[in-house]
Structure 1
Amino acid sequence: MFSKVLVTSALCAVAFASPFLPYSPGAAERPAEMKVLSDYFSMLGQKVQAGRQMSQAPVCNMANAVLPVASPTPLPGVSDGLKLKHVAIGRGIQNYTCSQTNATAPPVSIGAVATLFNASCVASTYPDLLTVLPNVALQFNLTSNDQPTLSPSYLTISGHHFFSNATTPAFDLNTPTLSLGFAPCMKNNTVPAPSGAPVGQGGQGHGSVAWLKLVTRDGATGNLEEVYRVNTAGGNPPATCAGMPAIFEVQYASE
């Protein structure tokens, strides 16, 4: 999220805590899921080893964070005069409805719900680690909208994403520990997720939802003006409603 006010977190990256919570049942039988987790923990181990050689802890400087660029078609850039305020990993569900009389009809999106986890210091210090976190987070099931940390990274909650009405995605970044603002939004631009984006949990699914640039509507607080949804993992529905219930959800994660 971008604003005219630069806010930095006093917390260093917490992604180095030892993982504890188990991932989704049966993961050992799904090679794609196991590779995602294996690659993540390998990268994590390399960061830990490198950290032991540092003379001091890395500084959480948001000016070092970089907005990912979709290929081959990028989203529009950040508007002039805006600065990065917060980076989060969102973990939740995309909601859809399906025709029960026309099996060839495509599912219709009816919004999304996600818990947002504070990744600002990871973005500023270890951007390569940040890039893989959505797909890693997708392999772990949320137990509730108020799950205190994101498995397996142990990032803490920094807000929630939901739709305040049928056309207004909202981002509430006010929590007991942070007060960053509230952003009711509207879509400014969208591009497909890049080729090779994660398709879903355990490598099974229908692809990743699009990358978005959103701009805030009246009522935004905290000087929030723009929101980007990037590095998406999962969330797409099947192409048609054949065999689908009237209402269903698809697991997803994003930066």
Structure 2
Amino acid sequence: MRFTLASAVTVLVGAVAVLALPAPKYTGCSLSSVQIPDEAFVDPNNSTNTLPRPAANEKLAKIVLGYGSQNYSCVDGVATPNGAVATLYDLSCAFAVSPEWADVVTRGAVQMDPTAQLAGIQMLKNMFNAQFISGVHYFKGDFATPNFEFTDKGKFIGAVAGKIPALAGSDAGKRPDNFGAVPSLRLAPKQGMGSTYSTIYRLHTAGGSPPPGKCSWQGQRQIPYAAQYWVYRT
């Protein structure tokens, strides 16, 4: 699927049109009735391999769409992760209306041209006076420490605490970099780093995997990806 500026705007306006009924609220919707689907915790190839579930004292604080790139360098013929960079968008109202629609938005995001997506988001912000951008995601210098900074001043600095392959049928990514969806993750906070959230799950991923086989490129290669980040606090 190829997303142009027109199609990007159509998708985003369609989402807002759905969210506008019955109440004109576009961000910050309640997630009290939303839960991670059971299948998202389970390795699609091995049902005994699962992600740990949220603790009993954890509450879902927000769901955001991350859109950006997974970055790799080629070291001795092996694609080596160099972290990721993503803009985070508020998905709370999309989930409050329809989890299925939220998944469509996630799949569509990885196929959009970045310029078209930013133009569409800015248009919606101007039209509805709503701040859809809710933060940024990047890695610290060691490429092993995921960092999330949110516009509400919340933050999360963590490490991988669980990993399973992406859900069956996940979007492989945007051509020509459609090498597959990156794994689902559970992230736990690093002690003493001041995180204001207790757990983040990366789910419903789209794209982001490096080319298979031996690599030979120079410098860093950026592979477009999108994912849902489910953010919990105790």
Shorter-chain TM-score category?
0.7 to 0.9
Compute the RMSD of aligned alpha carbons.
3.4
Deviation digits for residues 113-145 of structure 1 (CA, Å, limit 9, x no counterpart): 10001111212222111112221011112249x
Q: Give 1:80's aligned amino acid.
A: A
**Aligned residue number for residue 231 of structure 1:** 204
1:189 to 162, 165, 181: 162
1:168 to 145, 156, 161: 145
Deviation digits for residues 133-186 of structure 1 (CA, Å, limit 9, x no counterpart): 221011112249x9486499877110000012312101101x2xx33x110011
Gaps of 5+ in 2: 126-130, 229-234
Structure-2 separation of matches of 1:240 and 1:171: 31
**Aligned residue number for residue 115 of structure 1:** 87
Q: Output aligned runs, 1:96-245, within 5 Å.
A: 96-99=72-75, 102=76, 105-143=77-115, 147=118, 150=121, 156-166=132-142, 167-173=144-150, 175=151, 178-179=152-153, 181-202=154-175, 205-217=178-190, 218-222=192-196, 224-245=197-218
- Deviation of 1:79 (Å): 1.3
1:62 to 31, 42, 65: 31
Structure-2 separation of matches of 1:226 and 1:149: 30
Mark the CA change 1:151 to 1:191 in structure 2 (over 3 Å): closer, same or farther.
farther
Q: Output aligned runs, 1:55-94, within 5 Å.
A: 60-68=29-37, 69-70=39-40, 71=42, 72=44, 73=47, 74-94=50-70
Deviation digits for residues 40-72 of structure 1 (CA, Å, limit 9, x no counterpart): 68xx58x74x976x5x66893211222143343
How many equivalent residue pairs?
Answer: 208
Gaps of 5+ in 1: 1-18, 25-36
- Deviation of 1:246 (Å): 3.6
Q: Percent same amino acid among aligned pairs?
A: 27
Structure-2 separation of matches of 1:131 and 1:150: 18
Q: Give 1:165's aligned amino acid.
A: G
Q: Give 2:108's aligned amino acid.
A: V
Structure-2 separation of matches of 1:192 and 1:253: 15
- Deviation of 1:202 (Å): 4.7
Structure-1 separation of matches of 2:123 and 2:204: 18
Structure-1 separation of matches of 2:102 and 2:123: 13
Structure-2 separation of matches of 1:150 and 1:64: 27
TM-score by length of 2: 0.75
**Aligned residue number for residue 5 of structure 2:** 21
Structure-1 separation of matches of 2:168 and 2:124: 25
Is 1:190–1:211's contact at 8 Å kept on the other side of the alignment?
Answer: yes
Is 1:149–1:157's contact at 8 Å kept on the other side of the alignment?
Answer: no
